[in-house]
C-alpha cells in the first residue's frame, strides 16, 4: 500500500514538472512574439481604465501587465501596449 502511494507521488511529481516546463516554454514563446512587435509604449491610466475602447481602436494590440508571467519574463515595469503600428 505504501509503495503504491510512493509510486503515485513520483508519477504526479513528474507530471507536475512536465506541465511547469510546458507553461514556461509557452510564456517564453509568447514573450518573444510580443517583443518582436514593432511598436510599444506604456499605457496611461485613462487608457487602462477604458481598455475595451482602446483594443477596439488599435488593431492587433497586446497589453502586458507587469505581474503576469509574460510581463515578468519581459521585465515590464508598467502596463505596456504592444502593436504592429503606432497608436
pLDDT of residue 50: 94
SS3 label, residue 4 = helix
pLDDT of residue 52: 93
| pLDDT of 81 higher than 90 | yes
- Here the CATH number for the domain that contains residue 26 is 3.30.1370.150
Length of the chain equals 87
Which residue is associated with the grid cell 515578468?
72
Beta partners for 39?
A: 83
In the chain, % helix, strand, coil (3-state, to 5) comes to 60, 15, 30
Mean pLDDT across the stretch 66-80? Answer: 94
| pLDDT of 2 higher than 90 | no
Range of the structural domain that residue 13 is part of: 2-83
Beta strands in the chain (DSSP E): 39-42, 62-64, 80-83
Mean pLDDT across the stretch 61-83? Answer: 94
| pLDDT of 76 higher than 90 | yes
pLDDT digits (tens, 9 = 90+) for 14-62: 999 999 999 999 999 999 999 999 999 999 999 999 999 999 999 999 9
Q: What is the Cα–Cα distance from 75 to 55, expressed in whole angstroms?
A: 23
Total domains in the fold of the chain: 1
Amino acid at each position: 500500500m505504501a509503495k503504491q502511494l510512493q509510486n503515485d507521488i513520483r508519477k504526479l511529481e513528474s507530471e507536475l514538472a512536465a506541465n511547469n516546463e510546458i507553461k514556461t516554454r509557452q510564456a517564453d514563446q509568447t514573450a518573444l512574439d510580443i517583443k518582436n512587435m514593432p511598436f510599444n509604449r506604456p499605457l496611461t491610466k485613462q487608457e487602462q481604465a477604458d481598455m475595451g475602447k482602446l483594443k477596439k481602436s488599435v488593431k492587433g494590440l497586446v497589453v502586458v501587465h507587469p505581474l503576469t508571467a509574460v510581463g515578468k519574463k519581459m521585465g515590464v515595469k508598467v502596463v505596456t501596449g504592444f502593436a504592429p503600428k503606432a497608436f
